[in-house]
């Protein structure tokens, strides 16, 4: 059975080879190439017209010669790819475009009686019947087209540049950017919830302190005329603790889980960001480098406006990915600051409880001292569990920001000097066939892309400021831990070895966290001073694309209005 299949395939290749030799024989008749060279090319193609076309072009055979030769052989007109050649959208929606590229045909117009179809193999009866079935029409009007032209027709209908996957289309990329915008909105909601949680933690800290103060006064002065004030303070503390817990618990159960991210770096369209569903959930990945994409992008001045807009769409998707990654870092750092605020208070409560425990003899009040210590330990553990995630977010944000800033930006790419004479832009020739606003639309796409890049610069600044605030929280927490350990050591001295070791552990841990915080804080402050947004007045034009740019309104922000200085 296998031998029969191989023999049938071999006979089919031989028949196809003979057909191609007969179809392309006019190239020899017109003196375009030698017979022996044509036979070699056809035999090496193994029956593939796509390979023949490529080989002929590599030999310098003009495209129009190939088209004239084959259209004359098949006695039908020919068509070349054009961006103005668009198929009915409702027809394309029900066709598998990967099959169109494989079978090399493309619908140009379709009615119930007849369909105009561009095709590279008009002599295949099975393919022609399949086309009729797929299009739901009775007749076909065939127009010859070369394989590369049909491939570009299909890719153009997908809104992608030559050789790019379907995910590079502007519609899929727009869906991706919408998804990323949704993720950023969700993380902004998380940060708002965390801000509410930090407010709740402040209420808890204040409430615990009020409870400790009231019970300490009761321990020192006993029951007397101050008891009424102590009771009010105690009840106020209990109320604030309960209120704070009600605000804190929704934040505690919050687990910011978005799309899994890879470090973002603009590739200028050589790879495509893609959302993939995996066993562990939805993950944002990048495609393998698209073959020929870098060469295509480097010939920017020779691209059509539509092809340029497609590249701009990929650029904006890269920038959206970067902003989302930076938003994720800010969210993690915000959560770390929330936790460390709790840990700082817990350390103070533990220190106060130990002070009372060691200063007064064991008795009934020891339950209160132990309760203070346990409460402080629980608060410390609750907050300290966010130390390492916050630290990782700081380190990763520094690494990612540095990586982004060292790479080429869209400004460097778009406004670079021409390096080759053959890369100079062609003379601008206007034709009646050009649609109105074609060049203006591409200009607006460039404007949107450059504005997106400026938003990313500010997103990096916000990440730097978040890193600075996180470093300050590390410093405050470290100072709090150091102060408790140092204060206990100074107050009680060297009398108890175990307590002395405990005090020095607190001192060393506090110093480490303080110096680490200062290291990150100085880095963040140095980076902040390099950008003008926090130190000068900021003027922003409000785009209104219905009017000329010089008529756009301006908004001016003075330094006093900026939050950066705070």
| Mean per-residue pLDDT, 453-476 | 87
More confidently predicted of 18 and 164:
164
| Mean per-residue pLDDT, 319-329 | 89
Which residue, 542, 513, 97, is CA-closest to 340? 513
**Residue 432: φ, ψ to 5°:** -65, -20
Residue 565 has pLDDT above 50, yes or no: no
- Say what the pLDDT of residue 3 is: 43
**Tokens 């790819």 sit on residue:** 81
Sign of the C-alpha dihedral, residues 226, 231, 236, 237?
positive
Q: Read off the pLDDT of residues 229-286 as tens digits, 9 standing for 90 and up.
A: 888 888 998 898 888 888 877 777 666 565 555 555 678 888 888 877 766 667 778 8
CA–CA gap between residue 319 and residue 331 (Å, rounded): 18
Structure tokens at 231: 């009771």
- Say what the pLDDT of residue 421 is: 47
| β-strand partners of 140 | 115
The answer to whether the CB of 282 falls within 8 A of the CB of 276 is: yes
Mean pLDDT of the chain: 79
Q: What percent of the chain is modeled with pLDDT above 90?
A: 3
- Say what the pLDDT of residue 65 is: 85
Domains along the chain with CATH numbers: 2-64 (no CATH), 89-157 (3.30.300.160), 170-421+437-530 (no CATH), 532-566 (no CATH)
Residue 187 has pLDDT above 80, yes or no: yes
Q: Identify the band that residue 5 occupies on the pLDDT scale cut at 50, 70 and 90.
A: very low
CA–CA gap between residue 118 and residue 153 (Å, rounded): 9
Collapsing DSSP to helix, strand or coil, 222 comes out as: coil
| Mean per-residue pLDDT, 514-536 | 75
Specify which of 48-52, 344-348, 491-495, 506-510 reaches the highest per-range mean pLDDT: 506-510
Per-residue CA distances from 247 to 204, 250, 256, 408 (Å): 10, 6, 17, 45
- Say what the pLDDT of residue 280 is: 64
């Amino acid at each position: 059975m296998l031998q029969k299949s191989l023999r049938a395939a071999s006979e089919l290749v031989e028949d196809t080879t003979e057909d191609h030799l007969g179809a392309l024989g006019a190239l020899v008749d017109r003196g375009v190439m030698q017979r022996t060279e044509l036979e070699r090319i056809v035999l090496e193609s193994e029956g593939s017209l796509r390979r023949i076309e490529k080989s002929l072009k590599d030999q310098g055979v003009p495209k129009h010669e190939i088209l004239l030769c084959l259209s004359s052989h098949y006695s039908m007109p020919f068509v070349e790819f054009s961006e103005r050649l668009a198929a009915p959208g409702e027809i394309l929606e029900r066709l598998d475009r990967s099959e169109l590229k494989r079978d090399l045909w493309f619908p140009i117009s379709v009615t119930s009686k007849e369909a105009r179809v561009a095709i590279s193999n008009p002599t295949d009866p099975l393919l022609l019947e399949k086309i009729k079935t797929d299009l739901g029409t009775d007749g076909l009007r065939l127009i010859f087209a070369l394989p590369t032209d049909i491939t570009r027709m299909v890719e153009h209908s997908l809104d992608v540049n030559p050789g790019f996957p379907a995910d590079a289309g502007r519609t899929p990329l727009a869906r991706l950017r919408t998804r990323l915008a949704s993720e950023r909105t969700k993380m902004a909601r998380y940060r708002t919830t965390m801000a509410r949680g930090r407010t709740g933690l402040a209420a808890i800290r204040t409430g615990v302190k009020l409870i400790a103060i009231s019970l300490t006064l009761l321990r020192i002065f006993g029951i007397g005329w101050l008891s009424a004030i102590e009771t009010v303070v105690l009840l106020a503390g209990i109320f604030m603790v309960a209120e704070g817990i009600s605000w804190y618990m929704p934040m505690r159960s919050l687990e910011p889980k978005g799309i899994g991210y890879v470090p973002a770096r603009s590739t200028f369209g050589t790879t495509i960001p893609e959302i993939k569903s995996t066993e562990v959930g939805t993950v944002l990945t990048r495609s393998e480098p698209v073959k020929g994409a870098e060469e295509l992008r480097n010939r920017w001045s020779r691209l059509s406006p539509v092809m340029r807009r497609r590249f701009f769409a990929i650029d904006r998707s890269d920038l959206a990915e970067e902003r989302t990654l930076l938003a994720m870092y800010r969210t993690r750092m915000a959560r770390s600051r929330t936790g460390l605020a709790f840990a700082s208070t817990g350390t103070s409560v533990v220190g106060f409880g130990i002070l009372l425990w060691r200063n007064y003899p064991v008795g009934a009040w020891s339950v209160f001292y132990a309760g203070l210590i346990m409460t402080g330990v629980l608060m410390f553990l609750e907050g300290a569990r966010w130390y390492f995630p916050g630290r990782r977010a700081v380190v990763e944000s520094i690494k990612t920001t540095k990586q982004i800033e060292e790479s080429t930006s869209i400004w460097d790419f778009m406004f670079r000097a021409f390096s080759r004479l053959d890369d100079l832009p062609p003379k601008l020739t206007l034709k009646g066939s050009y649609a109105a606003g074609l060049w203006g639309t591409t200009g607006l796409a460039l404007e949107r892309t450059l504005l997106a890049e400026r938003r990313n610069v500010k997103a990096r600044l916000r990440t730097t400021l978040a890193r600075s605030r996180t470093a300050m929280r590390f410093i405050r927490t470290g100072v709090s831990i150091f102060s408790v350990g140092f204060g206990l050591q100074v107050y009680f001295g060297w009398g108890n070895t175990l307590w002395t070791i405990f005090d020095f552990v607190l001192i060393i841990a506090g110093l480490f966290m303080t110096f680490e915080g200062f290291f990150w804080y100085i880095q963040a402050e140095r980076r902040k001073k390099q950008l003008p947004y926090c130190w000068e007045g900021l003027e922003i034009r409000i785009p209104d694309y219905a009017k000329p740019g010089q008529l756009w309104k301006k908004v001016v922000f003075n330094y006093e209005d900026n939050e950066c200085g705070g």
